[in-house]
Amino acid sequence: MKRRFICIAAASLMLAACADSSSVSDAGSSTAPDSTAESTVTADLSAEPVRSAYSGAEALFGMSFPGFEMPDSFEVPLVERVYELSYNNVSGENSAENSKEIFKRFFGERYDPSNELGNGSTGLMYRSKEQEIITEEQPDGSKAEIYAQDYGEIDNGFIILCDKQSYILSYHDSEFTRYRTATRGAELIETKAGEISVAQEASYIEKEVNELIGDAAAPFAVKVMFVDVYDIGKIAARCALTYDGVPVQYGFPAYEVQKENGKETGLYFCVNVFLSDDNVIHGLDVALPQNLIEAKQVDQILSLRRAVGILKETFTENDSYTFTDVKLLYCGRTLDRTWASEVMSDPEKHLDVFKSYAAETKNLRPTWCFFLNSETNIDIEPCVKIDAISGEVFLDFAEKKQ
């Protein structure tokens, strides 16, 4: 696989997309399916206690049903509590001070408060006054000049942090190996300091990032889902935000639906971390729920077995889906994105429209996500979603299947 190691250095890019990827599946060892498991799969919409969410999940490993196949294995966590979450992206009263503290922690000794300025919207930007010209040797032996500077921007749930070294890290395409932390945590990877397990690397990154942006992300925490190790030593971590242990949907939604009143797109969040081979973080981009309004605890949801039963009723032998992973996540419904076209057609509306969008209350609900590999884009995992409260089915596909 080839992928450019990206540090986004412009707010417009960050607001347009959060460059996450959660695509390459490595399911781990296969477990023989239980021949009696299918009899426990039912489309009964009766909810069960939350602690039973994954009950009997191992028996579903590798099972085939008309129209779809389950993964050979997937993570089976114990879920204690779930909630219906509502939030908006309005910055709090202390957001400017919090942003300054994040800049101080990230840029360290190079931090200079005179580099802080408004971003023309509601947030705070950091940009070093001078660019550094870095000479980088190319594979053919030639030299290339890279213009680099310290850069950051924090605004309404978006965080971008890039130091000068990140420009070098983003310069080269490189082969990489993806490690899913849930199934490959014991495997070893190479860093300048020596070998370290994927689980240890993930733990280190989680600690560093939670300390770096904890004030801005709270009450959500960062959990590493994938570690990408590049053949020239660079490392990237694709992370999820979690609330009380359950992840929020991470990365791009795979779909964009054309509506009469404009486009709608799924809610998504990301935390992407970029490191050099000495395990120093040089770049970070984040999209998060800025302001949690309410967390309403849900005592009962549809179990995974019953979600699979709904799929049995939904698909037929004419369908053909091979799922690569299954997770209970917090997912949002579609958002009206008419505001984006309004901004494009009338740039003077930008600030008012953006503030209105940020103030809109958005909801996240516990949802069973059955992931597929994308046929065209490794940065997207299409999935079938089943609302774990209502049982509604949503097809989140980049490529529509007939």
Residue by residue, pLDDT tens for the chain (402 residues) are 433 333 333 333 233 333 333 333 343 333 334 444 555 676 677 899 999 999 999 999 999 999 999 999 999 999 999 999 998 877 766 677 888 999 999 999 989 999 888 755 667 888 888 888 877 776 677 777 778 889 998 887 789 999 988 876 765 566 888 898 988 999 999 888 789 999 999 999 999 999 998 778 889 999 999 999 987 768 999 999 999 999 998 865 544 444 444 444 456 688 899 998 888 999 998 888 888 999 999 999 999 999 999 999 998 888 889 999 999 999 886 555 555 666 666 666 666 777 777 788 888 999 999 998 765 556 667 889 999 999 998 877 644 433
Domain of residue 320 covers 37-86+297-396
101 found inside a domain: yes
- Say whether both 283 and 320 belong to one domain: no
Distance of alpha carbon 224 from alpha carbon 235, whole angstroms: 12
DSSP 15-55: HH------------S--PPPTTGGGG-------EEGGGTTT
Residue 402 lies in a domain: no
Structural domain contains residue 30:
no
Residue where a domain stops, chosen among 260, 293, 326? 293
Q: How far apart are CA 195 and CA 188, in angstroms?
A: 6
Paired tokens of 181: 């932390």
State how far the alpha carbon of 229 is from the alpha carbons of 64, 162, 174, in Å: 33, 19, 10
Go through the chain and tell me how many residues it has: 402
For residue 33, the model assigns a pLDDT of: 40
- Cβ pair 85, 292 in contact under 8 A: yes
Domain boundary among 293, 326, 360: 293
Asked if 117 and 259 sit in the same domain, the reply is yes
Q: Are the C-beta atoms of 263 and 340 separated by less than 8 Å? A: yes
- Pair (177, 319) in one structural domain: no
d(CA 149, CA 133): 9
Distance (Å, whole) CA 60 – CA 247 = 22
Query: Which region, left, alpha or beta, applies to residue 328 given φ > 0 means left and ψ of -120 to 50 means alpha?
Result: beta
Q: Do 250 and 165 belong to one domain?
A: yes
pLDDT of residue 149: 87
Query: How much is the pLDDT for 118?
Result: 74
Q: What is the pLDDT of residue 139?
A: 64
CB 33 within 8 A of CB 61: yes
The model's pTM is 0.81
Domain boundary among 261, 293, 325: 293
Both 323 and 216 in one domain: the answer is no
- Can you name the residues that pair with 366 across neighbouring β-strands? 330
Tokens of 133: 């010209």
Is 379 found in the same domain as 255?
no
Q: Is the separation of the CB atoms in 397 and 255 below 8 Å?
A: yes
pLDDT at 344: 60
What is the secondary structure of 133-183 as a DSSP string? Answer: EEEEE-TTS-EEEEEE--EEEEETTEEEEE-HHHHHHTT-EEEEEEEEHHH
* Closest by Cα among 173, 136, 176 to 23: 176
Residue 401 lies in a domain: no
Same domain, 278 and 303: no
Residues with Cβ < 8 Å from 151, sequence gap 6 or more?
9, 126, 127, 128, 160, 161, 162
Judgement on whether residues 125 and 162 belong to the same structural domain of the protein: yes
> Does residue 284 lie in a domain region?
yes
Q: Are residues 315 and 265 in the same domain?
A: no
Within a domain: residue 153? yes
User: Does the residue 29 lie in any domain?
Assistant: no
78 with 158, same domain: the answer is: no
Same domain, 186 and 232: yes
Q: Which residues of 174-188 are buried (b: 16+ CB within 10 A; e: fewer)?
A: bebebbbbbbbbeee
CA 309 to mean position of chain CA atoms: 27
CA distance 129 to 273: 24
Report if residue 264 sits inside a domain.
yes
Residues 285, 373: one domain? Answer: no
Enter the DSSP assignment of 269: B
Beta-strand pair 262-266/300-301: unpaired
| Omega prior to 219 cis, within 30 of 0 | yes
Structural domain count, the chain: 2
Q: How far apart are CA 63 and CA 38, in angstroms?
A: 8
